[in-house]
Amino acid sequence: MPHPAALSGQGIQAKTDLPYMPPHRIEVAGELDGQRLDAALAAAGLGLSRRQIRALIEGGSVRVNQRRVRFASHRVKQGDAIEIAARSAPPTQTPRPEFHFTAADILFDAYEVIAVNKPPGLPSQATRDPSVPHVASCLEAYFHSRGREVTPLVLVHRLDKETSGVILLARGNERATWLARQFRGREVRKSYHALCHGLPTEDDFDVRSYLSEIDRKTGRVRTVRSGGQLAVTHFHVLRRAPGTGFSLIACEPHTGRSHQIRVHLAGQGFPIVGDKFYGAPSIRPLPADLAALAAAHHLLHAREIAFTPAPGQPAITVKADYPPKFAELVRRVFPDAG
């Protein structure tokens, strides 16, 4: 229930199962002077959890004295006017997806090297939240379930969270160092497939530019004239669909910069379908029947990787199948692909 001694509001409802959330205007009373914004809203009896309130704030739905505030830790003062924009429904916690590797996902397991087909949405490495799964933790769970000894798994290279495909790990630091030398010496060949907006006129083209580091505030990478790192990518058009304006492009990065392929393709006017940072969906909207398939993740897939697994062994090439939504989009866009 609301706390009238602390806050006075209009239209405040305490039910948690409202089909919609009407706009609210709340005035901070003296008892909450100096409190956090999320605490002030919790005291208003909106029927939302602290997590849902933070989602409202971080999503830009809350204004204090007509200025949007996105930080739950913002301190309010007596007399402040807090306004909450109308929402179609109260924010709910999105269920965390579960990731479980199967035998089909293990593409190579020999010479203390493991290649696995990473699904989109699974982080390559551990995050600040230890409860969030990542590639190594999921592999460890897979081996545990089969009664196999789990030696320390070392991630050798990374893929963006939404990028799917083949990724390498090593059992221990010695083999990881062996593989890392190959990456540094550019002896490892990687090929990605990207479903892109636009129809390149040339079958093959190269992009060479200097890229910034990932901006900590925006999460984006920019092309810069100076102060960046050299990034070089070769592109080969595999298929074109003139009717829908999509292309399937093979991408071979000769350097390993963050977001390199995504930035290079967007800079050439061929952004990757579903790319939330560089995809410009308002300019090139997907047909309605394809939009749902592309909504979950961008359509970039680490298709192949060629490397030498151990000293004295021949080089091998490991290939990863497309994830289900990627495969379905390719089938729909290129029905004659077979």
Could you give the residue numbers annotated as active site? Answer: 160
- Token pair 């309010």 is found at 76
User: Residue 213: CB partners within 8 Å, gap ≥ 6?
Assistant: 221, 228, 229, 258
The span from the CA of 207 to the CA of 236, in Å, is 12
Please name the helix (run of DSSP H) or strand (run of DSSP E) that holds residue 171, with its range, or none.
strand 164-171
Q: What is the dihedral sign for C-alpha 177, 259, 236, 226? A: negative
CB 12 within 8 A of CB 24: yes
Under DSSP, the state recorded for 278 is T
User: What is the C-alpha end-to-end distance of the chain, expressed in Å?
Assistant: 61
For residue 175, what are its two tokens?
Answer: 């083999």
Q: What is the dihedral sign for C-alpha 320, 324, 325, 328? A: positive
Torsion of CA 164, 166, 167, 169, to 10 degrees: 140
CB 199 within 8 A of CB 227: no
DSSP strand pairing (164-171 vs 300-307): parallel
The span from the CA of 206 to the CA of 253, in Å, is 10
